[in-house]
Amino acid sequence: MPACVILAAGKGARMNSDRPKVLSEVLFYPMLGWVFDTVISCNIQNICIVVGHKHEMVLRFLNREGYICNIAMQHALNGTAHAVTSASSFWKNYIDDDILILNGDSPFISPNAIMDAYKAHKSGNLATVISSNIKNPSGYGRIIRDVNNSVIGIIEEKEATFEQKNITEINSGTYWFKCEILEKFLSQIKKNSGEFYLTSLIGDLIKNNLKVGIYKTNDSNSVLGANNPEQLEILNQIAKNKIIETFKSKGVYIPDENNVTIGKNVEIGEGTTILSDVTILGKVKIGRDCVIGPGTNIFSGDFPDNTSLIFCNTNLYDQERFAV
């Protein structure tokens, strides 16, 4: 069974927040939690999280939510390849296997993209990168292809030429590697703009004529991350719309969806109606054929079938529960 390393050491200085970037919230739940839940849903149990900046906050979140994982410390924030090196005592236990490496601030990376990329990886790749075409690629590394459409490298945006910045196929920051390749090549990576990047490792493999694959997902949202408050707001809106649409497809009636917010850990039975000015967050289970709202806020609890709640607050907003 493959293992996984989640990179969660960054400061996220452009977020204008003192907390680690992976704890920035999408629908009031840290991005790291979204990523961890996705990895678990892929039936990957052996997980290591690389922490660094204000690591005690990350550890507190993991402990509070009951996430079980190994921890590696990146003492100096010298790039993604350096972060993976910091976890070498973990991944060397899987030296004859494959390992998934992804960022803790990519909340929408999907189980389908991860596992479909893994199938492609098992075709003989030594490394496989998940990519996608997005409308606004600003801030992301670009996939560089030759005239034959073969991948010849990945360029970070700050190193890209004007022409390369017009490329819309971006690197998601999610990779599958043969662990033995990490052991052989990580130590050979040279600094690029003062840091050691995993994208440089991909370039080195290609230069050595070793097989690198690209799995391009059609779900462009799944590769999005957030480097600033504006991008985080976009992720929040995407998540809000996606969750509401999912519930509507399962028979939940939400006539005024613009004024409804539902969190990622909420369960709602079919036939239930969610009216205006409703917020439902936390671990909440609502049965079938209920009426919730208007003007209702729910932050915890189980509600049986045929429950009606109007202008009701089930409890006070628990800041410790949702933020760190």
CATH level 2 (architecture), domain 250-322: 3 Solenoid (2.160)
Local confidence band at 312 (pLDDT 50, 70, 90 cut-offs): confident
Q: Tens digits of per-residue pLDDT, 30-45?
A: 999 999 999 999 999 9
Q: What are phi and psi of 113, to 5 degrees?
A: -65, -45
DSSP at 81: H
Domain boundaries of the chain, sorted by first residue: 3-223, 250-322
Kindly state the DSSP code that residue 127 receives in the 8-state scheme: E
Question: pLDDT averaged over the chain?
Answer: 93
Contacts made by residues 183-188, CB under 8 angstroms, sequence distance 24+: 183/88, 183/92, 183/95, 186/81, 186/84, 186/85, 186/88, 187/85
Please, which residues bridge with residue 258 across strands? Answer: none
* Cross-strand bridge partners of residue 153: 144
Q: With 60 as the cut, is the pLDDT of residue 324 above it?
A: no
| Neighbouring residues of 9: CB distance < 8 A, sequence distance ≥ 6 | 20, 50, 51, 52, 53, 55, 74, 77, 83, 86
Q: Is the per-residue pLDDT at 315 higher than 90? A: no
Query: What percent of the chain is modeled with pLDDT above 70?
Result: 97
- Model's pTM, two decimal places? 0.92
The single residue listed with the structure tokens 């840091």 is 195
Token digits of residue 230: 């504006």
Question: Lowest mean pLDDT: which of 10-14, 131-135, 150-154, 305-309?
Answer: 10-14
CA geometry: angle at 207 spanning 203 and 211, to 5°? 80
- Distance, in Å, from the CA atom of 297 to the CA atom of 307, rounded to the nearest integer, reads 14
- Average pLDDT of the segment spanning 20-33: 95
| Both tokens assigned to 294 | 């208007």
Which one of 3.40.50.1970, 3.30.70.20, 3.90.550.10, 3.40.50.2000 gives the CATH number of domain 3-223? 3.90.550.10
Q: Which strand (E) or helix (H) includes residue 241?
A: helix 229-249
pLDDT of residue 15: 86
